[in-house]
Structure 1
Amino acid sequence: MSSEEKGYLLISAPKTREDTYNTLTRKISDENDLATQFKFAVPDLKVGTLDSLVALSDDLGRVDTYVETVTRKIAQQLFEVLDNPADRSEVLTVGQTNYEKYINYFTWDEAKYPSTQSLKVITEVIHAQCHKFDDELKTKALEYTNLVHTLNAEERKAGGNLTVRDISESVKQEDVIQTEYLETLFIVVHKPVLKEFWSSYEKMSQYVLPRSAKQLDEDNDYALIRVVLFKKFIADFHSAAREKRYTVRDYVYDPEKSAKAERKKMEAERDRLKKNLVRWCKTNFAEAYVGWVHLKAVRIFVESVLRYGLPINFQAVLLLPKKGKQTKLRKVLSDMFSHLASKNVFNAKEEESETDKFYPYVSLDVNLNMSK
C-alpha cells in the first residue's frame, strides 16, 4: 500500500435498529466503493463526570499529538539506522503482526490498560510511557550518531593527504627518539620545496640534531619527515615551520596504539550500538504505537459520549478511503448522519477550514504513514 493511502478516518455514530456498521458498509462500500471499513472495538470505559470528560477532551488532543510524534520519531530512527529499507511497513510490527493490521483488527488490551481505570489515568500512563521513550531515544540515537560521525571523519582523514590523515602506520618504533632532553617531530613538506627543506632544516632552530631528518612516507603531494631536536627549542622550530608553510603534525608515538586497531574497535562498537538501537526501536515502536491506538480509542469514546450522551450506545468504525475519494466519502457520511446535528449548527460550520471542520458524526484522523 502506498504512503498516500495510509490516511484513515476513525468515526463513530449512534447504534440504530438497523446495524450502523452494516449500513455504513452498504453505503460507502457496496454502493459507492469509497472506502474499506473495519469495526473498531471500544470497550465500555469509565465515564466519570461530565466536567471530567470535558477537561479530558481538551487534554487528549495535545497528548494524542505528542504520542503520535514520539511514535513517528522511533519509526523514522529505525528507518534511518536500517538505511531506508524498501518495504518499511514490514519493519514496523506489533508482536508478529504488521502495525497497520493491528489497528485494522484492534481489540482493547485489558492487561496493559485495565478498563476499570479512569480515562485520565489511562491517558497519563500512555503519556508518561512515551515521555520515557522520547528521552531514551534521544540518548541512544545521539550516542550512535556521534560514533558514526567520528568514524566518518576518520575515514575522510584516512583518504586525505599526509597533512590530515593518520600517520601511525607510517611511523615505526625505530623512527622515534624520545629522551629527557630530545623530542621527535613529524613534519609534512610540500614536494616542490622538499629540496629546500633538506638543505635548511638543521638551521630552523638551535640544536636540531644533524642528519636526524628521515623521510618516512609520501603521497602525490607531500612527504612525511622525521626530525629530532632538543625539547627546549621545539617552539622555535614550530615558528620557523609555520613561516615556511611546513606542517608539524600533532602526533605522539604510542606503541600500544594503532589507528587501524582503534578504527576496528570503533567499528565494532558502532555495530553493537546499531544492533541495540534497532532492537530498541522495534520493541518500543510497538509499545508506543499500541499506546497511541489505545489513546485513539479513548478519544473516540470521550468524544462520542460528549456528542451522543448516555447511556453509551455508539459504533466506532475505522475507514480507509480509496485514493481520490475522500471528499465524496465525507459527503456520503454527512448525508447519512446529517440528522445528528441541527441544520443551523451544521451549516454554520461548513465554512470552517478542513482541519477544524465540524461533522455531524465524531471523526478523528489517523495517519499511519510513518515515513514523514
Structure 2
Amino acid sequence: MASRYWVVSLPVQNSASSLWNRLQDQISKHSLDTPLYKFNNPNLRVGTLDSLLSLSDNLLKSNNFVEGVFHKVRRQIEELERVSGVESSSLMVDGVPVDSYLTRFVWDEAKYPTMSPLKEIVDNIHGQVAKIEDDLKVRLVKYNNVRSQLNAINRKQSGSLAVRDLSNLVKSEDIVVSEHLVTLLAVVPKYSQKDWLSSYETLTSYVVPRSSKKLFEDNEYALYSVTLFRRVADNFRTSAREKGFQIRDFEYSSEAQESQKQELEKLVQDQEHLRSSLLQWCHTSYGEVFSFWMHCCAVRVFAESILRYGLPPSFLACVLAPVTKSEKKVRSILEGMCNSSNSTFWKTEDEVGEGMAGLAGDADAYPYVSFTINLV
C-alpha cells in the first residue's frame, strides 16, 4: 500500500476517454512505476459562481479538519495496539483496505444526494466528523483515568521502600500488636544495615531484644521490623530518625489488603475492557472518517475543477501514487495534458488571482487541480 496519493483533475478538451488513454500511455511509456486510477467523481450541483467561491475556503478548512481527525484516530489505533502488544491489523473502510476504498471510490448517494447544495454536504460531513472527535475525547478521558489510577498504584508498589506501599510486603506473622507491644517498620539504607542491627536495641528503652527481622530489600533500602513497648514508640521514632533510619507509618489489616487486591484486579479488568472497546470503536471510526474525507475530497475536486476550467463540468479526475523519484516527471506529464495557455496562466505568479490561488490546497500551484492524500 502506498502511503501518499495525489488526487488530480485535468481539463477535458475532446473526450474524457481519450484523455485517460493518453495519460495511461504516457505513464506506461516512461515506466514511472506510478499506479493510476480513475476517481469516480459524481456530477454534483454547481450552484452559482459566488457560492463556489465562498465555499472554497470552507472546503479547505473542512478538509484539513477531517484529515486531522482521521490521523488522530489512526495514531490512537497504533498506540492501543502497541500497548496491547498485538500485531498491527489491516485498517479497513467499508470492508476493504483503505487504499482500495480510495482508488475505487464510489459516491454514497443515499447519504449525500448529488442534488444537495455543496455547502450542505460539506457542513454535514464536518458535523459528523466533529461528533466522532468529541466521542473520541470522552472515551479517551475514561480510558486514561483508569490508566492513571493503575499507574499510581503501580508507582506505590514499585517505588523505593522510602515511599512505596508496604502492605504487600508485610505478613500477619511479621506484626506483633497487643495492649503493651507494637511492631514498627524501619527503612534502613543498605549501607547502614550493620549499624541498624548493632544499635536498634539501644535507641530507646524497652525494645524487645533480637526482635528485628529483615522483611524486604530493594536497590537502596532494607525493610526491618522491630518490636517494643507501645509507650516508647515515639521516642524510638525520634532516635531512629537522628541516626538516618526512617520509621514508616503502617497498620496491618488483612481486610485492607484484600480490598486493595480486589480494587487492583477491577482496575486491570476495567482497563482491558476500555482498551478493547476503544480499539474496536477506533477501527469503526477510522473507516467512517476516511469515507467522510473522500466525500469531502470529491466535493473539492468538483468545485475546484469548475472554478479552474469553467462550465459545463468537463474534467477527468484520477488518483496517482507516484514514487518519490518519479514525482517530477509525473508532474511534467500532467502539465502536458493541459493546454499551453492554461499552463502559462498558472505558472505566472502575478496572474494568479487571490481567490483562485488558494484553491489548489497544496503548496505549489499547477495548471490542473491537485491535492495530496497522506494515509500515514
What is the rounded CA distance, in whole Å, between the counterparts of 1:337 and 1:86 in structure 2? 49
Task: Mark the CA change 1:257 to 1:367 in structure 2 (over 3 Å): closer, same or farther.
Answer: same
2:345–2:351 CA contact under 8 A, matched in 1:
no
- Between the aligned partners of 1:217 and 1:28, the Cα distance in structure 2 is 75
Residues 186 and 248 in structure 1, CA contact (< 8 A), matched pair in contact too: yes
Q: Tell me what 2:217 maps to.
A: 219
Could you tell me which amino acid in structure 2 is paired with residue 114 of structure 1?
A: P
**Correspondence 1:118 to 2:117:** yes
SS of the residue aligned with 2:300? Answer: helix
State the distance in 2 between where 1:231 and 1:299 align: 83
Q: Give the corresponding residue for 2:284.
A: 283
- Secondary structure, aligned partner of 2:319: strand
State the 4+ residue runs in structure 1 displaced beyond 6 angstroms: 84-87, 181-184, 349-352
1:278 deviation in Å? Answer: 0.8
Residues 14, 315 of structure 1: 8 Å contact kept: yes
Mind listing any 5+ residue stretches in structure 2 that lack a counterpart? none
Identical amino acids, percent of aligned pairs: 34
CA distance in 2, matches of 1:109, 1:276: 28
Describe the shift of the 1:284–1:210 C-alpha distance in structure 2 as closer, same or farther (beyond 3 A). Answer: same
What amino acid is the match of 2:3? Answer: K
SS at match of 1:171: coil
| In structure 2, distance between residues paired with 1:269 and 1:140 | 13
Q: 1:54 maps to what in 2?
A: 53
Q: Does the CA-based 8 Å contact 1:46-1:119 persist in structure 2?
A: yes
Alpha-carbon distance change, 112 to 186 in structure 1, aligned in 2, over 3 angstroms: farther
**Equivalent residue number for residue 99 of structure 1:** 98
Structure 1 spans left out of the alignment, 5+ residues: 204-208
Q: Distance in 2 between matches of 1:48 and 1:251?
A: 76
SS at match of 2:338: helix
Q: CA deviation at 1:134?
A: 2.4
Query: What is the correspondence of 1:110-259 to structure 2 with a 5 Å cutoff?
Result: 110-148=109-147, 150-152=149-151, 154-155=153-154, 158-159=157-158, 161-173=160-172, 175=175, 177=177, 185-190=184-189, 191-202=193-204, 210-211=207-208, 215=213, 217-219=215-217, 221-225=221-225, 239-258=238-257
Shift of 1:146: 4.9
| Aligned partners of 1:176 and 1:253 also within 8 Å | no
* Paired residue type of 1:309: G
- The answer to whether the 8 A contact 1:171-1:216 is kept is no
Question: What SS does the corresponding residue of 2:321 show, helix, strand or coil?
Answer: strand
Residue of structure 2 in register with 1:17 after alignment: 14
Pick from 351, 360, 364: which aligns with 2:371?
Answer: 364
Across the aligned residues of Structure 1 and Structure 2, the Cα RMSD in angstroms comes to 3.5
CA apart distance, 1:157: 5.2
Residue 306 of structure 1 aligns with which residue? 307
Whole-Å separation in 1 of the counterparts to 2:131 and 2:105:
24
- The answer to whether the Cα contact below 8 Å between 1:321 and 1:329 also exists between their aligned partners in 2 is yes
What is the DSSP-based 3-state SS (H/G/I as helix, E as strand, rest coil) of the residue aligned with 1:113?
A: coil
Structure 1 residues 272 and 216: CA distance shift in structure 2, 3 A = farther
Distance 1:53 1:251, change over 3 A: farther
Deviations 1:185-211 (A, max 9, x none): 5332332332255223445xxxxx753
State the AA in 1 paired with 2:305: S
- Residue matched to 1:328: 329
Q: Counterpart of 2:82?
A: 83
Q: TM-score, normalised by structure 2?
A: 0.81
CA distance in 2, matches of 1:357, 1:132: 33
User: What is the SS of the residue equivalent to 2:37?
Assistant: strand
Residue pair 2:162, 2:246 contacting (<8 A) in 1 also: yes
How far is the alpha carbon of 1:164 from its aligned partner? 3.8
Give the TM-score normalised by the residue count of structure 1: 0.82
Is contact 2:6-2:320 (8 Å) kept?
Answer: yes
Is this contact kept in 1: 2:181–2:227, CA < 8 A? no
Distance 1:61 1:16 in 2: 27
Per-residue Cα deviation, 1:33-85 (whole angstroms, up to 9, x for no partner): 35211111121222222222111101111221121111111111111111188
Deviations 1:322-353 (A, max 9, x none): 3410011001111221436163553447999x
CA contact (8 A) 2:201 2:207 kept: no
